[in-house]
Amino acid sequence: MTEGGASATRHAPRGGGATASLPRRKRFLQGVLPGPREREHGAPSVEGMDITTRTVAVIGGTSGIGLELARRFRDAGSTVVVGGRSTDRFDDLRAEGLGTVEVDVADGGSVEHARDAVLEAYPDLDTVVTMSGIGVPEDLRDPAHFAIAERTFDVNVLGTIRIVDAFTPHLLARGNGTVVTVSSGIAFLPFPLMASYAASKAAVHAYSEALRAQLAGTGVDVAELVPPAVATTMGDSNPNALALDAFGAEVMNLLAQEPTPRELLVQAVQMHRWAERDGTYDELVVQRSAALATLPGRAD
Ligand SMILES: NC(=O)c1ccc[n+]([C@@H]2O[C@H](COP(=O)([O-])OP(=O)(O)OC[C@H]3O[C@@H](n4cnc5c(N)ncnc54)[C@H](OP(=O)(O)O)[C@@H]3O)[C@@H](O)[C@H]2O)c1
């Protein structure tokens, strides 16, 4: 990717591309799909996603969950481009068959350049994943935390909106496609140590709901990925974090369901998502507040 995000590097999909889609899809689904499972969250989204024939942009796909899902889409037969600021990783990502695009979601100009580059290299783009996110502990008794709040909202909330806005006209013109937004279990069950992060992810949830309603009838679908703690750079301090591989496999199974659930809820996040309904919310917030003792001067 060149300076300013003006080009995206494209790679052909592995395994034969879209022409082999139906047989490969059947094989893939036979291999990975679970049997009928109870869907915890009511109404499904518009239609199912064929994860073997998609052209996918994972913005925030240079590491962690985004890279895991990018690899799984690629392995299923889809064409994938990953975006982020870490251009030092691009050679390696390209070597494994992923396209790359430089983008800083906190910078509107960078997002526009990246959008143009992606659509030039991938005119058939039909899936956009808004994965970019940061999460940082904050001490709300110290007003100096505001810088963290500002940055967190700029990346997690406005960054999501910038990416959605950049690609929505293209998806609407296609008349089909999927936006996958990324919130968190913390959106539904606060983790008080990361206050702005929790608030930002609650905002992503609310925005995703509104986006889905506003795009209804256009053929463009919205699915919200709600990860629990997952062992990435962001989640590795949590001893209960889900292994990235297990999480990725479960998410792809959910994405391959027909129809795609409007919320992608792996088993481990159900307790967060439904704490209020299940009457466990107050007790869990108290438990999760114990981490506040890690803030300077709070141990007593
Ligand atoms: N891991 C967890 O426990 C967990 C739980 C719930 C939700 N989530 C959510 O899952 C998403 C992925 O997190 P992760 O755990 O995989 O963490 P990660 O490994 O740190 O990945 C974060 C990704 O976001 C990108 N990013 C950050 N700031 C960006 C910016 N300004 N512009 C463009 N891209 C940016 C990073 O790319 P560059 O650094 O290359 O820019 C990277 O690809 C986040 O939205 C996070 O909130 C994670």
Phi-psi sector, 219: left (phi>0), alpha (psi -120 to 50), beta: left
258 alpha carbon to ligand 1 midpoint, in Å? 27
- Please report whether residue 300 resides in a domain: no
Contacts of 194 (CB under 8 A, 6+ apart): 135, 136, 137, 138, 186
* CA distance linking residue 90 with residue 112, whole number of Å: 20
C-beta of 232 in contact with ligand 1 (< 6 A): yes
C-beta of 134 in contact with ligand 1 (< 6 A): yes
Q: Report which ligand 1 atom has the smallest distance to the Cα of 89.
A: 40
Best substitution site from 72, 80, 132 to test ligand 1's pocket, by max atoms within 8 Å of Cβ?
Answer: 132
List beta partners, residue 222.
179
* CA distance linking residue 129 with residue 82, whole number of Å: 9
- Please report whether residue 8 resides in a domain: no
Residue nearest to atom 43 of ligand 1 (CA): 60
Q: The CATH number of the domain where 115 resides is what?
A: 3.40.50.720
212 close to 198: Cβ distance less than 8 angstroms? no
Best substitution site from 85, 98, 224 to test ligand 1's pocket, by max atoms within 8 Å of Cβ?
Answer: 85
Note the pLDDT of residue 238: 80
- Please report whether residue 124 resides in a domain: yes
For the chain (300 residues), the mean pLDDT of every run of 10, in chain order, is 49 38 39 34 58 97 98 98 98 98 98 98 98 97 97 98 98 97 97 97 98 98 97 80 97 93 97 97 96 86
Q: Give the CA-trace dihedral at 225, 212, 47, 176, to 10 degrees.
A: -110
**Separation in Å, CA 16 to CA 79, 94, 122:** 11, 18, 17
User: Which three-class secondary structure string do you get for the chain?
Assistant: CCHHHCCCECCCCHHHHHHHHHHHHHHHHHHHCCCCCCCCCCCCCCCCCCCCCCEEEEECCCCHHHHHHHHHHHHHCCEEEEEECCHHHHHHHHHCCCEEEECCCCCHHHHHHHHHHHHHHCCCCCEEEECCCCCCCCCCCCHHHHHHHHHHHHHHHHHHHHHHHHHHHHHHHHCCEEEEEECCHHHCCCCHHHHHHHHHHHHHHHHHHHHHHHHCCCCEEEEEECCCCECCCCCCCCCCCECHHHHHHHHHHHHHCCCCCCEECCHHHHHHHCHHHHCCHHHHHHHHHHHHHHCCCCCC
- Please report whether residue 81 resides in a domain: yes
Q: Can you read off the two tokens belonging to residue 225?
A: 């990925």
Record the pTM. Answer: 0.89
C-beta of 182 in contact with ligand 1 (< 6 A): yes
Note the pLDDT of residue 235: 63
Q: Report which ligand 1 atom has the smallest distance to the Cα of 197.
A: 47
Q: Report which ligand 1 atom has the smallest distance to the Cα of 87.
A: 40
Note the pLDDT of residue 18: 31
Note the pLDDT of residue 288: 95
273 alpha carbon to ligand 1 midpoint, in Å? 20
Write the single-letter amino acid at 129: V
Q: Report which ligand 1 atom has the smallest distance to the Cα of 229.
A: 3
List beta partners, residue 81.
57, 99
| Full domain range(s) for residue 111 | 45-294
C-beta of 151 in contact with ligand 1 (< 6 A): no
C-beta of 105 in contact with ligand 1 (< 6 A): yes
- Cα end-to-end distance, the chain, whole Å: 50
Q: Give me Rg for the CA atoms of the chain.
A: 19
- Please report whether residue 23 resides in a domain: no
- Please report whether residue 228 resides in a domain: yes
Note the pLDDT of residue 31: 36
Total tally of structural domains belonging to the chain: 1
C-beta of 99 in contact with ligand 1 (< 6 A): no
- Please report whether residue 36 resides in a domain: no
What phi, psi does 274 have (nearest 5°)? Answer: -115, 20
- Please report whether residue 31 resides in a domain: no
20 alpha carbon to ligand 1 midpoint, in Å? 33
* CA distance linking residue 107 with residue 3, whole number of Å: 14
Q: Can you read off the two tokens belonging to residue 239?
A: 């001893």
C-beta of 64 in contact with ligand 1 (< 6 A): yes
